[in-house]
Amino acid sequence: MNVDQIMMNLERKHPGEVEYLQAVREVLDSIEDIVNENPQFEAAGIIDRIVEPDRILTFKVPWVDDKGKVNVNLGYRVQFNNAIGPYKGGLRFHPSVNLSILKFLGFEQIFKNSLTTLPMGGGKGGSDFDPKGKSDNEIMRFCQSFMMELHALIGPETDVPAGDIGVGGREIGFLYGMYKKIRKEHTGVLTGKGLNWGGSLIRPEATGFGNVYFAQEMLATRGMSFEGKRVAISGFGNVAWGAALKVAQLGGKVVTISGPDGYIYDETGISGEKIDYMLELRASNNDIVKPYATEFPEAKFFEGKKPWEVKCDVALPCATQNELNEADAKMLVANGCFCVGEGANMPCTPEAIEVFLGNKVLYSPGKASNAGGVATSGLEMSQNSMKYAWSAEEVDQKLHGIMRDIHNQCVKYGTEEDGYVNYMKGANIAGFIKVANAMLDQGIL
């Protein structure tokens, strides 16, 4: 396999799709040796087939705002690969959403879902709709219009969307309600549902919890735990909240959270009511983290800055793609940070990852360490199929087991000669092999 050649062709076919090309390059670099050792993959065109989505659906989403003005957004669903199960992946509502971002997310999702051990293919969708400052009624009308188109593309055995940035429990409720109205059926077509109508306990916490469980496993390889560790978290959304909650439970001290406006530094530690307050901040639809420092005056707000300049042992980037660059990575390492667990999708740039690998930092890629979210979505699908609900303890135990399993897969395929575990390589190889073998079994499709 000639990675440079494949990338050149892709760049020619998809000019400007930088995030998608970045995600593909990372995976191809990791799997190059495995593909070269297994000629059956190239013979069946696995690489050429896996880097292109099965199909991309785009549609317009017209909706009327509270002032009576008609607005039109773009809606997308990228159905990337269903070799091991129905397409599965979140919906992102954010003004930055474009095809490149959804293709990168859908591509990552294939390997992430493969790692979870559950039967789920990869997909992603969303819209350039900006939820910021919108009323609940505006969000409802938007979600209803979005589902008017999306319903024809999805189904519990076909494609099962969920949340991502800008899509949480409220949006899933509006989307599910409209699906039910159009299709006249109550079915597990979306995950992240409310507890009274098919949702799973622990799904809201799952991505953050899973990220911390994975970091716990990484720390354990060096005989360490979260007890007494200083932890820098970015973001203040769903993933950051779950991660902060679990770190605090495990005796770690969360010293930062962040938003698009800057970061909060709280030397007394973010725990208890402060973590509950994160939920209020997120639900306010204002998308700024600054009010935390007014609510808790012992904290300081650093406008326009990222949290990677603070001294910490563990960093958990939980906001968005490419939010941690080479300079940030060097600063973290210089300040003694030895463990980085990606809660967001692709938050570290390739140059930042180089810095971590070069310094033997315990570094986990999002497709491994944030897989707890979609894994628990998979558990929600299982419960929906059984028409039964597990207790929080049962779901949490299964989630914990899955995160340990993913860690083991990364160690199996990512351990280097000196014993250092390259989790990025391990995750990419383990995720790829399962999907590639399924594609081989099923013929040229």
List 124, 253, 367, 398, catalytic entry: 124
φ, ψ of residue 325 to 5 degrees: the values are -105, -175
Among 36, 40, 96, 221, binds ligand NDP (CB under 6 A): 96
Beta carbons within 8 Å of 262's beta carbon, 6+ residues apart = 289, 290, 301, 302, 303, 304, 305
DSSP state at residue 340 = E
CA angle 223, 309, 344 (to 5 degrees): 70
Nearer to ligand NDP, 199 or 259 (CB): 259
Among 116, 144, 191, 211, binds ligand 2IT (CB under 6 A): 191
Question: What sign does the dihedral 234-236-238-240 (CA atoms) show?
Answer: positive
Residue recorded with tokens 């789920």: 120
Among 131, 373, 414, 431, binds ligand 2IT (CB under 6 A): 373
SS3 12: helix
> What is d(CA 270, CA 244) in angstroms, rounded to the nearest whole number?
7
Question: 191 contacts which partner out of ligand NDP, ligand 2IT, none, CB within 5 to 8 A by kind?
Answer: ligand 2IT
For the beta carbon of residue 284, count every other beta carbon within 10 angstroms.
10
The answer to whether 175 contacts ligand NDP (rule: CB under 6 A) is no
* E strands in 128-267: 159-162, 230-234, 253-259, 262-265
Nearer to ligand 2IT, 118 or 361 (CB): 118
Beta carbons within 8 Å of 29's beta carbon, 6+ residues apart = 3
**Residue 124 among the catalytic residues:** yes
Report the site for ligand NDP in 371-430 (rule: CB under 6 A): 373
Report the site for ligand NDP in 199-218 (rule: CB under 6 A): 207
Which H or E element spans position 64?
Answer: strand 55-64
Please give the size of the binding site for ligand 2IT, defined by CB under 6 A: 11
Both tokens of residue 264? 């909060």
The answer to whether 345 contacts ligand NDP (rule: CB under 6 A) is yes
The answer to whether 235 contacts ligand NDP (rule: CB under 6 A) is yes
The least distance separating ligand 2IT from the CB of residue 325, rounded to whole angstroms, comes to: 21
Question: 89 contacts which partner out of ligand 2IT, ligand NDP, none, CB within 5 to 8 A by kind?
Answer: ligand 2IT
Please give the size of the binding site for ligand NDP, defined by CB under 6 A: 24
Among 90, 131, 235, 414, binds ligand 2IT (CB under 6 A): 90
> What is d(CA 18, CA 104) in angstroms, rounded to the nearest whole number?
9
- Do 240 and 208 contact (CB within 8 A), yes or no? yes
SS3 10: helix
Binding mask 107-146 for ligand NDP (x = CB under 6 A): ----------------------------------------
Both tokens of residue 34? 């495995």
The least distance separating ligand NDP from the CB of residue 210, rounded to whole angstroms, comes to: 9
SS3 374: helix
Closest CA to 410 of 424, 394, 426: 426
The answer to whether 320 contacts ligand 2IT (rule: CB under 6 A) is no
Both tokens of residue 32? 């190059």
Question: 319 contacts which partner out of ligand NDP, ligand 2IT, none, CB within 5 to 8 A by kind?
Answer: ligand NDP
Nearer to ligand NDP, 299 or 319 (CB): 319
- Do 162 and 317 contact (CB within 8 A), yes or no? no
Report the site for ligand NDP in 302-321 (rule: CB under 6 A): 318-320
Binding mask 51-90 for ligand NDP (x = CB under 6 A): ----------------------------------------
Site of interaction with ligand 2IT (CB under 6 A): 88-90, 112, 162, 164, 191, 345, 373-374, 377
Site of interaction with ligand NDP (CB under 6 A): 94, 96, 163-166, 207, 235-239, 259-260, 282, 287, 318-320, 343-345, 370, 373
Residues serving a catalytic function are 124
